[in-house]
Amino acid sequence: MFQIVDLLQSTEFISTEINLKFMKIRFLIILFSIFFIQLPAEAKKKRHSNHKRSYARSNRKHKTPHSTFVPIQVSTDGEIWGLDVSHHQQNIDWETLGQHQPSFVFLKTTEGATKQDEKYVENYQGARNNNIPVGSYHFFTYKSSGKEQALNFLSRVKFNKGDLPPVLDLEFSRRMPPVDQVKSELMDFISIVSNKMACFPIVYCNYRYFNKYLHECLPEKCKLWIVDYKAKPDGNWTFWQTSDKHKVPGIKGYVDLNIYNGTKNNFAGLLN
């Protein structure tokens, strides 16, 4: 009797032990299952997070600047319109361009105290041969005096009958000298050129430049050529640069488009 009871108890103990081992095995299987299921998910999540950070860094590095306005489209129909060009336009087909009858063209002549545009003479002759009135411009820099730059311009510029007045191209540089110094050098250039050529130069600039450097000192006889790609300028202006993305047969690539503010008789009165 006692042997049977002992046997039963022993069997029950063995069964219980087996069940415990089985439960431990099941528990371990469940843990391993959870671990191996979550591991790929975590790895995927980490890769996705790294990709997002990499994408964000890439966007910061290659962020494309964009305009906050849409450039206006100005038609040349019925307008007295023209272009301004330099060596950047390379070889211009003046005969083809002349067939589209621009009313004028401004040619880069010099820059600073020493630079001279390599295409100026060729462009001047090409425009004149195709009956396009020419104006010659100097690009002003801030590394030399107004006097030195005026002398460079005068040594190169052509000014014949039927030509437009000379032009002084004024733009901001990365580092600008003090305001009073800029004004002084500009007035020196204008004084020397106007005395020598018996003609006050047209001044090209934007609103900000005019208000900062020219508003109080520009001679009244200097005509104003305003650059504004947003809208038609206000105030007293003679020429308006409307776009730097104009296309016209005879010139490869883009070119600046300009509109004259006045009648044909007014325009004729500007010519030498």
- pLDDT tens across the length of the chain (272 residues): 444 334 334 444 445 554 555 566 666 666 555 555 454 444 444 444 443 333 333 333 323 223 334 455 666 777 899 999 999 999 999 999 999 999 999 999 999 999 999 999 999 999 999 999 999 999 999 999 999 999 999 999 999 999 999 999 999 999 999 999 999 999 999 999 999 999 999 999 999 999 999 999 999 999 999 999 999 998 899 999 999 999 999 999 999 999 999 999 999 999 99
Q: What share of the chain is helix, strand, coil (3-state, %, to 5)?
A: 45, 15, 40
Same domain for 245 and 166, yes or no, is yes
Residue 138 in contact with residue 111, Cβ under 8 Å?
A: yes
Handedness of CA 126, 132, 133, 138 (dihedral sign): negative
Residue in 91, 124, 98 with CA at minimum distance from that of residue 253? 91
Beta-carbon neighbour count of residue 223 at 10 Å? Answer: 19
Co-location of 138 and 4 in the same domain: no
Report pTM.
0.73
Angle (CA) 168-75-235 rounded to 5° is 45
Residues in the chain, total: 272
Residue range of the domain that includes 173: 81-270
- Give the pair of three-digit tokens for residue 40: 């790929």
Residues 129 and 254 grouped into a single domain: yes
| Pair (51, 138) in one structural domain | no
Is 50 domain-assigned? yes
Q: Are residues 163 and 253 in the same domain?
A: yes
Query: Within a domain: residue 68?
Result: no
As a whole number of angstroms, the distance between CA 167 and CA 50 comes to 56
Other Cβ atoms closer than 10 A to 188:
16
The predicted pLDDT at position 197 comes to 98
Using alpha carbons only, how large is the chain's radius of gyration in Å? 38
Q: What pLDDT, on a 0 to 100 scale, did the predictor assign at position 50?
A: 43
Residue 69 lies in a domain: no
Are 44 and 91 within one domain?
Answer: no
User: Of 35, 62, 89, which closes a domain?
Assistant: 62
* Tally of domains in the chain: 2
Same domain assignment for residues 31 and 152: no
Domain assignment present for 138: yes
Other C-beta atoms lying within 10 Å of the C-beta of residue 191: 15
